[in-house]
Amino acid sequence: MIKLLRILAALALIGVVVVLLLIFLPHHLTEPQEDLAADWTPEEGQGEYAMILGDCAGCHIGADGTPFAGGQPIDSPLGPIYASNITPDPEHGIGEFSLDDFRAVMYDGVDEEGHDLYPAMPYANYRKLSERDIRGLYHYFMEEVEPSSNEVTETSLMFPFNMRFGIRMWKWVALSDPGFEPPFGDEVENAEMLNRGAYLVEGPGHCGACHTPRNLIFAQKGFTAEDSEFLTGGVIDGWTAPDLRQEGTQPQDWDQVEMARFLATGRNAHAGVSGEMELVVQYSTQYWTENDLLATAAYLDEIGHDVARESDAEDDVPSLSEEETVTLLGDADPEMALGPRLYLDNCNACHFSDGRGAANVFPQLAGNATVTAPVPRGLVQTILEGAELPSTEAYPYKLRMPGFGWRLSDEEVAELATFVRNAWGNDAGAVTAADVAGIRSAIEDSPEGHGEAAD
């Protein structure tokens, strides 16, 4: 008995020591990845462009639109995490940060006081940024951004996630080695372009933060294309962030110019951007250079897998071919099932009976990643609330699909969604009225939820 108590006491002591070490042992910080002279300064515009590539603006924008003033909540499974003020304000922003402090945030997720940052900040991906981009970003935020005294709500998650030392333990297993290794050697045609694409996707673009699946402890399953699960689809805000690599996925099906156009304008011959990706286009990719967009498209194309993804949904609904669907809708038999009838009454005017819509205006539904996503939240939310394309320089029109949630019941939305998920060769799982009801209430509860369209 005494022995057992001793063991327990020893374990408790070890636990306390570990926790104290986690809290007080100084972080081992990642070194610069390149030796740049102390007086090295970025070229004009380089820092701002690095910010655009990293999409800092999308998360750190102030509630009133002040750039980088922070304060917007990012919904995590553990509760809202508030983006910080990253303007050079010395008190409320990052004005007191040294270059090393700044690099520690970007590479190691550690702030200037040694606190561990929640991985809503994608330092797991930013670890691949070059020293030149780090220096560029630092210069940009210190010299070119207007300070803002916006005081950001402190993130306070429930116990035990408010114990930030836990993040330190998490990082030991969740982070990869820092630095970017160009994966393509000179023997590969186009190696320079592909390596640029790899850098953009793996590093500043942090595509993997949403598009790579996560494991049980919420770590990304891979940070480079060598990992077979890298960019094979994740979940963000309840939506499926589509698989980008398997055969038949959009970046693999589209030609590279269309992929680049999608990133630049939020729309192309096949699809319109939706969900969180809309913000990526709005704040980041629309401003990327043509070369960077093409490099990204080329890299995504290059890392495609040869096998089609196996649908993991329980496939209880027969898939209709394009021809069968067109015939069914064209016959418009009054006795037709509810799903296709609702499609005719609500969707056909724009998306047409062939499900192909119209280039750059009405997204194609056949093979549409939002339509056939394993998790149907995106499709159902779009039917309920509608969706709007972001305004971009080349395509300024905020084309908006109206919401239908005010006129369709949960059962009707479920029938309609199940139909489009299995028409024109689509083959995805059924949606139930309970799914729709759950999504309806999730939308209404979410901080930016609009509820049902008021019109």
Partner 1 sequence: MARQDPKKDVVIVGLGWTGSILGMELSKEGVEILALERGEDRKTVPDFAYPNMIDELKYGIRYGTMQKPKNSTVTIRRTLDETALPYRHLGSFLPGDGVGGAGVHWNGHTWRPMENEFRLRSYVEENWGAEIIPEDMQIQDWGVTYEELEPHFDRFEWMAGISGQAGNVNGEMIEGGNPFEAPRSRGYPLPPLQQTADAEMFAEAARAMGLHPFPRPGANASEAYRNEYGMQLGPCNFCGFCERYGCINYSKGSPQTCVLDALKRKPNFQYKTNSEVLRVTLADDGKTATGVIYWDEEAGEEVFQPADIVILGAYSLHNVHLMLLSGIGQPYDPATGEGVTGRNYAYQMNGGTSMFFKDVDFNPFIGSGTVGMSIDDYAINQIDFGAEGFIGGSYITAGRANGQPIRGIALPSGTPGWGAEWKQGIGEWYGHSMSIGSHGSNMSYRDVYLDLDPTYTDKHGRPMMRMTFNWKDNDIRMTQFMKSKIEPVAESMNPDLMQSSYKGDGAMYDVRPYQTTHNVGGAPMGADPSTSAINRYLQSWDVHNVFVMGASAFPQNIQYNPTGAVGALAYWAAEAIRKDYMPNPRPLV
Decide if residue 283 touches partner 1 (CB under 8 A): no
Specify the residue, 33 or 392, whose C-beta has the smaller distance to partner 1.
Answer: 392
Smallest distance from partner 1 to CB 361, Å: 4
Smallest distance from partner 1 to CB 250, Å: 19
Decide if residue 453 touches partner 1 (CB under 8 A): yes
Specify the residue, 130 or 268, whose C-beta has the smaller distance to partner 1.
Answer: 268
Q: Which amino acid is at 439?
A: I
C-alpha span between 290 and 174 (Å, rounded): 33
Decide if residue 310 touches partner 1 (CB under 8 A): no
Is 115 marked as binding a ligand?
A: no
Backbone angles phi, psi at 232, to 5 degrees: -100, 20
Tokens (6 digits) for 237: 């805000």
Q: Which of 143, 400, 409, 444 binds partner 1 (CB under 8 A)?
A: 400
Task: Find the part of the chain contacting partner 1 (CB under 8 A) among 242-250, 398-406, 418-426, 434-442.
Answer: 398-406
Please name which of 253, 263, 209 lies closest in space to residue 235, comparing C-alpha atoms: 209
Decide if residue 40 touches partner 1 (CB under 8 A): no
Please name which of 448, 258, 207 lies closest in space to residue 363, comparing C-alpha atoms: 258
Decide if residue 67 touches partner 1 (CB under 8 A): no
User: 196, exposed or middle or buried, with CB in 10 Å at 0-12, 13-18, 19+?
Assistant: buried
Decide if residue 362 touches partner 1 (CB under 8 A): yes
Decide if residue 399 touches partner 1 (CB under 8 A): yes
Please name which of 256, 312, 279 lies closest in space to residue 392, comparing C-alpha atoms: 279
Specify the residue, 239 or 404, whose C-beta has the smaller distance to partner 1.
Answer: 404
Decide if residue 365 touches partner 1 (CB under 8 A): no
C-alpha 81 chain-centroid distance:
16
Residue identified by tokens 């901080």 is: 447
C-alpha span between 369 and 262 (Å, rounded): 13
Binding residues with partner 1: total (CB under 8 A)? 26
Specify the residue, 315 or 331, whose C-beta has the smaller distance to partner 1.
Answer: 331
- List Cβ<8 Å contacts ≥24 apart for 58-63: 58/279, 58/280, 58/282, 58/283, 58/284, 59/83, 59/120, 60/84, 60/85, 60/86, 61/283, 62/148, 62/150
Element of type H or E holding 50: helix 46-54
Q: Which of 262, 395, 419, 424 binds partner 1 (CB under 8 A)?
A: 395
C-alpha span between 382 and 402 (Å, rounded): 9
Decide if residue 361 touches partner 1 (CB under 8 A): yes
Decide if residue 386 touches partner 1 (CB under 8 A): yes
Smallest distance from partner 1 to CB 396, Å: 4
Is 139 marked as binding a ligand?
A: no
Please name which of 294, 200, 213, 310 lies closest in space to residue 256, comparing C-alpha atoms: 294
Confirm if 273 and 369 have CB atoms less than 8 A apart: no
Decide if residue 454 touches partner 1 (CB under 8 A): yes
Q: Which of 25, 307, 359, 434 binds partner 1 (CB under 8 A)?
A: 359
Decide if residue 455 touches partner 1 (CB under 8 A): yes
Q: Which of 144, 396, 409, 441 binds partner 1 (CB under 8 A)?
A: 396
Decide if residue 66 touches partner 1 (CB under 8 A): no
C-alpha span between 436 and 179 (Å, rounded): 43
Cis upstream peptide for 160 (omega within 30°): yes
Q: Which of 319, 391, 432, 446 binds partner 1 (CB under 8 A)?
A: 391
Smallest distance from partner 1 to CB 399, Å: 6
Confirm if 154 and 123 have CB atoms less than 8 A apart: no
Residue 75: strand pairing partners: 80
Confirm if 218 and 212 have CB atoms less than 8 A apart: no
Is 206 marked as binding a ligand?
A: no
Specify the residue, 36 or 350, whose C-beta has the smaller distance to partner 1.
Answer: 350
Please name which of 129, 285, 262, 289 lies closest in space to residue 193, comparing C-alpha atoms: 289
C-alpha span between 374 and 376 (Å, rounded): 6
Confirm if 58 and 279 have CB atoms less than 8 A apart: yes
Specify the residue, 337 or 361, whose C-beta has the smaller distance to partner 1.
Answer: 361
Q: Which of 6, 394, 411, 441 binds partner 1 (CB under 8 A)?
A: 394
C-alpha span between 13 and 32 (Å, rounded): 37
Decide if residue 398 touches partner 1 (CB under 8 A): yes
Which positions from 323 to 352 touch partner 1 by CB under 8 A, shown as an x/- string? -----------------------x--xx-x
Task: Find the part of the chain contacting partner 1 (CB under 8 A) among 93-101, 143-151, 367-375, 392-400.
Answer: 392-400
Give the interface with partner 1 as residue ranges (CB under 8 A): 346, 349-350, 352, 358-362, 386, 388, 391, 393-402, 407, 453-455
Write out the binding residues.
56, 59-60, 207, 210-211, 347, 350-351
